[in-house]
Amino acid sequence: MVKGHEPVQRHWLAESWHFLICAGGILSCYFVFGIQQERIVQGKYELPDESVEKFTFTQALVFFLCTGNTIYAYLIRKKTEIDNVPAKMYAASAASYLLAMIASNQALQYLPYPTQVLAKSCKPIPVMIFGVLFAHKRYNWRKYCYVLMIVIGVAMFLYKDKKRGTEDKDFGFGEALLIFSLAMDGTTTSIQDRIKKSYQRTGNSMMFYTNLYSSLYLSAGLLVTGELWSFFYFVQRHPYVFWDLCGLAIASCLGQWCIFKTIEEFSPLTCSIVTTTRKLFTIIISVRILCGKMAENGLE
């Protein structure tokens, strides 16, 4: 088995600069992504009979984004790049990635959004556990402390204004879906850790093959459910949605490039911590925007 390349040793200033570029790219791209996604999913689309319909094609939307990511990664890949990762590794990584996303989205049918965000903010915990168990990773004790502080901080922020007296609900199907989603997140990152440790590859090739297999899985599901044709008819009825989807895809491509660049130059755990912190900033900025709109409308 050919071992992966060791990380390039850089001065700490250069290392910090690379990290700021990667983390800043993730934060900015996915902030734009979140706004654009909310605009598409929460929008109301008028029909000729003056009735309205909503965008309900979640699986088709993910397929559109994965296909766009695949095309972008293919275009930026260099022909001289070496990638000896077995296809089954990429296929497994893509499957666990999709299962985590589907379970997380499905949990929203049973749980409020803050609960889902809170659970997903704990993602670094299964990442570290699965990394130790399956990827044979060893972390410094300080990393455990940092992860724990980030998770506790996000939890305190999300629930600091929670009303008292609310009855606690029993553990249900929604919570089980979130636990399954977190387990799949841990599986994905442990596979990525093994790929990084044992094989030669680049972030661009990881992005290409992960999204390629994800697109193949989703295309099969879309054909079976018939959602693909319903999605096409929806875009045909509302052509301007296509340009909104293109804007969403651009943010997704650039954001994913930053994610895989972070995985390549640092580690899946570092990427997980950045994406967890992103949720906090996204919520803060979203609340600020919402408060601004309410102030404009004269609401308190």
Give the integer Cα–Cα distance in Å for 172 and 170: 6
Specify the pLDDT at position 142: 78
- pLDDT tens per residue, range 218-249: 999 899 988 989 999 999 999 989 999 999 99
Specify the pLDDT at position 68: 94
Specify the pLDDT at position 132: 75
Q: Let me know the angle formed at the C-alpha of 35 by 267 and 124, rounded to the nearest 5 degrees.
A: 25
Specify the pLDDT at position 165: 45
Can you give the residue ranges of every domain in the chain?
A: 84-200+268-299
Specify the pLDDT at position 122: 76
pTM of the model: 0.76
Specify the pLDDT at position 245: 92
Specify the pLDDT at position 64: 92
**Which DSSP category does 2 fall into?**
P
Give the integer Cα–Cα distance in Å for 196 and 3: 8
The rounded average pLDDT for each run of 10 residues, N- to C-terminus, in the chain (300 residues) is 51 78 87 80 81 86 92 89 89 91 76 68 77 72 75 64 50 80 87 84 89 93 90 91 92 91 81 75 65 59
Helix axis angle for 240-265 and 227-237, nearest 10°, is 120
What contacts 100, CB < 8 A, 6 or more positions away? 181, 182, 184, 185, 188
Give the integer Cα–Cα distance in Å for 136 and 100: 22
The 10 Å Cβ neighbour count of residue 87 is 10
